[in-house]
Amino acid sequence: MRYLDEYRNEQLAQNVLKEICRVQTKPWVLMEVCGGQTHTIVKYGLDHLLPSEIELVHGPGCPVCVTSLEMIDKAHAIAARPDVIFCSFGDMVRVPGSQVDLLILKSRGADVRIVYSPLDCLNIAKANPEKEVVFFAIGFETTAPANAMAVWRAKQEGLKNFSILVSHVLVPPAVASILESPLNRVQGFLGPGHVCAVMGYEEYEPISARFKVPIVITGFEPLDLLEGVLMVVRQLEAGKAEVENQYGRVVTREGNRRAQRLVNQVFEVGDQKWRGVGSIPKSGYKLRSEFREYDAERLFQIEQIDTQESTVCISGLVLQGVKKPHDCPAFGKECNPEHPLGATMVSAEGACAAYYLYGRHSQGHSQLVEVRSP
Amino acid sequence: MAKKETNIVENLLPLLGACPMPILDHKEIVLGHGSGGKLTQQLVEKMFLPRFQNELLAPLHDGAVFFLNGVRLAFSADSYVVSPIFFPGGNIGELAVNGTVNDLVMCGARPLYLSVSFILEEGFPIDDLWRIVCSMQEAAAKAEVALVTGDTKVVDRGKGDKIFVNTSGLGLVDDGIEISPALARPGDAIIINGPIAVHGIAIMSVREGLEFETLIESDTVALNSLAEAMFTASRGIHVLRDPTRGGVASALNEIAAKAQVGISISEDQIPISEEVKGACAILGLDPLYVANEGKLLAFVSPSESEKVLSAMQNHPLGREARIIGKVVADHPGRVVMKTRIGGSRIVEMLSGEQLPRIC
């Protein structure tokens, strides 16, 4: 298949691996920002193909994982109401709140629907005028344009029974916060390809300059990731710290201006709480006041919720690249995809869930994997 | 101390006539309990198996195989709740006939008789029922089985979802045929009869809210003629399994666990069509976990594998048959896949619901 097979080609991958081995002389710690990239790395065993001195740590770019527990509990309180049809992206429905998840609420009679696009919710709202249709608008800059479009169109069409529960997060402040941390080990980044398809990569240039780290905007296929690693390692070995674009077939420096305009029309930047990390200033989107009639949080006035996080879980450290999933004593034991204790086990894109799904139950597993040096 | 108390309680139970409720992860049934993955397994192993226990159920095969008056029979049952009921390449009725026929085939049987039970929702169009009944008759004729008994129930509007179909089937197992997941042996070649994940994607393509243009049609078909051709070619077949719910990954994991062997497969050997690959990429699905309805996995002793493979390739339902891997003595209970890029990874059992109500 075009644009897929050539990025999964073994021979081409071997060539890039050889080149990585040739240029690499020192140990380096790299972070891939996106959950989708983590997934590809673990699914294809890329980390085992790389020289052992290149360590990949997994970043905070799993939107489902970093949605705050408080917001999830609010979603559950709204979804449980008999007058509500609650719509969500598929991977959000299994995420546990303090008490339940959306699938359990569904089994108890709540009307919970999985949608692939927030625009589908507008049709559901039109077909069910007696119900309040609420969409759980989560995600990074990638999902923001479609979520903004749903609200913008609802306003255009004068739709009164549609609202969104907003929990949007932004990548650049999270990357900066990782680099500011005294625990930071990351020396170079594989930047978020899809986020940059929308936003471009200008805003990463000041971060790269300020912290003197290379950031290479990278795609999601195995070959994209290997090439991204090669570009970061080349910069590190040469003592450079620049923003480069590996994902040129999708990403431009300025990004999608139309999408950005729409997002800025509907949303404004505000402080945001990240599950497992805490509050990061100016790291999320809120609905602008012109669109407040579509703000589910305001409409449903959920009272303050007491949330309870697991005390064993180290997902905050995993999200910041300080620890690996199997460093956690609960990993694969009391914490698993059926019973996640924390953020990174809840979505398929979370580092812990990816490790679990692809059988990385312990470090000892690497013996099982056939490691091929290029 | 706690253990001792449990024993006392257990000893008292027969006297009290009580039934100890097994401890499960959920207090209510959730969709994942029907996904064919870990939650289904938990329900079966903790709730059904201990209470219903008998030696025929214990192997947890696609059906039970037993002698009755000197004749060896296979007996199997399945329910169909697929939504939508009409989908590209088939409908719920055809699926119900082919599915139970295939479950019998996976026991090494020649399917003969099927029962059919309908649960209909008040208001369901008679025209739709007629279409379903006609296609069931056609599917039965093609598979050379007879629909010999059945039942009809109607539930109040809103208490069902249009139509649910249950079929059960009886088949004869010929002498010399021993098929069971527990019989997988190191060295066995693992063969699949064609491209994977077609049925699941065909269903997804017409789901509400997800309609996308595609020419993908369900692969639903009865596999008894293919199996017959394979048995004619060789008796070196150890395991047959149709990778329906939970896909190829779940089927291989079940076999690896039952036989306590390792399974090693190669991603680049697994046949998959361009259309299905594209749809999976768009929807974020792993084709290894997507349902099939006209596919079988055969575990064949190494010396016989070429014979079986060419018999399959000479049959219309096996033209694209391919060896996708083999059974190994290493890593018992685990399925390991060599990825296209040269790395390798463990293929786990599906742990929740990937696609709701696929078959």
CB contact set of B55 (below 8 Å; sequence gap of 6+): none
Residue pLDDT tens, chain A, 374 long: 667 778 888 899 999 999 999 999 999 999 999 988 998 998 888 988 999 999 999 988 888 888 988 999 999 999 999 999 999 988 788 788 888 889 889 989 999 998 888 999 999 999 999 999 999 999 999 999 999 999 999 999 999 999 999 999 999 999 999 999 998 999 999 999 999 999 999 999 999 999 999 999 999 999 999 999 999 999 999 999 999 999 999 999 999 999 999 999 999 999 999 987 889 999 999 999 999 999 999 999 877 677 777 888 888 888 888 888 989 999 988 898 778 888 788 777 789 988 887 776 554 333 333 333 33
Q: Give the residue from A11, A369, A371 with the most B CB atoms within 10 Å of its CB, the best one to mutate.
A: A369
Q: HSE of B110 in the Cβ direction (CA atoms, 13 Å)?
A: 14
Regarding predicted confidence, which is higher, A2 or B116?
Answer: B116
- The sign of the CA dihedral A21, A27, A32, A35 is positive
- What does the block give as tokens for B246? 């939970």
- Per residue in B274-321, pLDDT (tens digit) is 989 888 887 778 899 999 999 999 999 999 999 999 999 999 999 999
CA distance B74 to B287: 30
Regarding predicted confidence, which is higher, B16 or A298?
Answer: A298
**DSSP letter string, A273-309:** EETTTEEEEEEEEEE-GGGGGGBHHHHH-PPP-----
CA distance A53 to A237: 13
Return the H-helix or E-strand segment holding B224.
helix B224-233
Residues 233-292 of B with CB under 8 A from A: 268, 274, 277-278, 281, 283
- For B64-173, give the CATH class: alpha beta
Complex ipTM value: 0.72
- The sign of the CA dihedral B49, B54, B55, B61 is negative
Question: Contact B343/A49 with Cβ under 8 angstroms?
Answer: yes
Q: Is A171 in a helix, a strand, or coil?
A: helix
Over residues B248-259, mean pLDDT: 94
* CATH superfamily of the B181-347 domain: PurM-like C-terminal domain (3.90.650.10)
Could you say which of B39, B274, B342 has the minimum Cβ distance to residue A372?
B342
**Quick check: A45 and B339 CB within 8 A?**
yes
- What does the block give as tokens for B306? 């070429």
- Per residue in B66-78, pLDDT (tens digit) is 999 999 999 999 9
Query: How far is the CA of A131 from the CAs of A59, A111, A284, B140, in angstroms?
Result: 39, 10, 29, 45
Domains in chain A, start-ordered, CATH in brackets?
Answer: 65-170+255-300 (3.40.50.11740)
Q: Quick check: A357 contacting B, CB < 8 Å?
A: yes
How buried is residue A168: exposed, middle or buried, by Cβ count under 10 Å (0-12/13-18/19+)? buried
pTM of the model: 0.82
> Is B64-173's fold the same as B181-347's?
no
- Distance between start and end Cα atoms, chain A: 26
pLDDT beyond 60 at B240: yes
Return the H-helix or E-strand segment holding B68.
strand B64-68
**Quick check: A103 and B30 CB within 8 A?**
yes
Q: Angle of helix A222-238 relative to helix A10-23, nearest 10 degrees?
A: 10
pLDDT of residue A343: 76
pLDDT of residue B353: 56
Return the H-helix or E-strand segment holding A311.
none
Running DSSP on this structure, what letter comes out for residue B128? H
Q: How many inter-chain contacts (A to B, CB under 8 Å) are there? A: 103
Based on its alpha-carbon atoms, the radius of gyration of chain B, rounded to whole angstroms, reads: 21
CA distance A285 to A143: 11
Return the H-helix or E-strand segment holding A164.
strand A162-169
Q: HSE of A60 in the Cβ direction (CA atoms, 13 Å)?
A: 30
* Residues of B whose CB is below 8 A from A43: 339, 345
pLDDT beyond 80 at B114: yes
Determine phi and psi for A245, rounding to 5 degrees.
-120, 105
pLDDT beyond 70 at B7: no
pLDDT of residue A315: 86
Tell me the domain boundaries of chain B: 64-173, 181-347
pLDDT of residue B20: 67
Question: Contact B205/B88 with Cβ under 8 angstroms?
Answer: yes
Q: Quick check: B14 contacting A, CB < 8 Å?
A: no
Regarding predicted confidence, which is higher, B37 or B42?
Answer: B42
- What does the block give as tokens for A327? 């460093």
**Quick check: A103 and B31 CB within 8 A?**
yes
In the block, residue with structure tokens 């089994």: A107
Regarding predicted confidence, which is higher, B339 or B190?
Answer: B190
3-state helix, strand, coil in chain A (%, to 5): 45, 20, 35
Determine phi and psi for B72, rounding to 5 degrees.
-95, 125
- What does the block give as tokens for A126? 């039109």
Question: Contact B259/B307 with Cβ under 8 angstroms?
Answer: no
CA distance A178 to A187: 11
CB contact set of B203 (below 8 Å; sequence gap of 6+): B82, B84, B87, B218, B291, B355, B358
* Residues of B whose CB is below 8 A from A368: 330-331, 334, 336, 346
CA distance A233 to A227: 10
